Amino acid sequence: MSDSSGTNSLRVYQELAQQILSGTLPPGHKLEEKVLAEQFGVSRTPVREALRELGARGLVDFTPRRGGVVATIGIPQLADMLEAECEIEGLCARLAAQRMTALDKGNLLEIHRQAMQLGNARSEATYRRLNNEFHDLICEGARNQTVATTARELRERLAAFRQSQSSTLKERMERSNEDHEAIVQAILAGQPEAAYEAMRKHNARLSSDVLRQLSRKATVAPTN
């Protein structure tokens, strides 16, 4: 594969993933290689590679030489993924409490302080950025690349569903900061079990709200 082909493939993958995760491309939307190639101004080869990667991540049901459709995730499958995320990020927090360096902990505390200081600004973009940085620091602090990568991929796949929370941005920020405070204090104190429980409780609360909202609106089709 040429560098140009690889770059184009990554660009197509990133843009399609963002559109899928944001809900711009809804479940069931057809992704035709020819149409996408024209849209992105590339050959069909990088489009095919991007769709294959999206398929590997469960975002697209990919059919070689034809394209694919945006995957539909049913409530049972979604519940399964959310449960896995709770446990894996909990494990990250547990390991981070044991393995984070003083510099790591300082960076984590600083990100948490920035989130706490958002106050009346309530910028959703800034809130999401800081939240992602917070979780990424903990996953990296676990010093286990396999666990960290798995946690990050699950968070990316579930990002669009997180937007189904019923609370306002102000409420989400306040509750998230409270949860993060407990996680930070446990990690700073070197208390692995407390860090695990705090992270798991945080994700479980979010997961319950997401599933409740989706079930109520019946916006996710059941799997076959």
Domain assignment of residue 82, yes or no: yes
Residue 68 or 58, more confident: 68
SS3 123: coil
Residue 198 has pLDDT above 60, yes or no: yes
Domain assignment of residue 94, yes or no: yes
SS3 82: helix
Domain ranges, residue 31: 3-70
Candidate from 72-76, 108-112, 114-118, 186-190 with smallest mean pLDDT: 72-76
Residue 188 has pLDDT above 90, yes or no: yes
How high is the pLDDT of residue 163? 60
pLDDT tens per residue across span 20-35: 866 788 888 999 999 9
Domain assignment of residue 222, yes or no: no
Domain assignment of residue 224, yes or no: no
How high is the pLDDT of residue 119? 66
How high is the pLDDT of residue 168? 76
Q: Are residues 113 and 158 in the same domain?
A: yes
Query: Among residues 47, 70, 93, which one ends one of the domains?
Result: 70
What is the pLDDT averaged over residues 140-149? 97
Q: Please report which helix (H) or strand (E) contains residue 215, including its range.
A: helix 192-217
Candidate from 38-47, 184-193, 205-214 with smallest mean pLDDT: 205-214
Q: Are residues 113 and 63 in the same domain?
A: no
Q: Are residues 112 and 151 in the same domain?
A: yes
**Which residues have C-beta within 8 Å of that of residue 178, sequence separation ≥ 6?**
none
Rounded to whole angstroms, how far apart are CA atoms 206 and 74?
18
Q: Are residues 63 and 169 in the same domain?
A: no
The amino acid at residue 9 is S
Q: Are residues 54 and 82 in the same domain?
A: no
Candidate from 2-6, 68-72, 113-117, 138-142 with smallest mean pLDDT: 2-6
Question: What count of other Cβ atoms lies within 10 Å of the Cβ of residue 30?
Answer: 11
Candidate from 16-20, 68-72, 141-145 with smallest mean pLDDT: 16-20
Rounded to whole angstroms, how far apart are CA atoms 94 and 141?
10
pLDDT tens per residue across span 101-142: 999 999 999 999 999 988 665 677 788 889 999 999 999 999
How high is the pLDDT of residue 1? 41
Looking at the structure of the chain, the number of domains it has is 2
What is the CATH number for 159?
1.20.120.530
Rounded to whole angstroms, how far apart are CA atoms 107 and 140?
12
Rounded to whole angstroms, how far apart are CA atoms 152 and 132?
9
Which DSSP symbol is given to 29? -
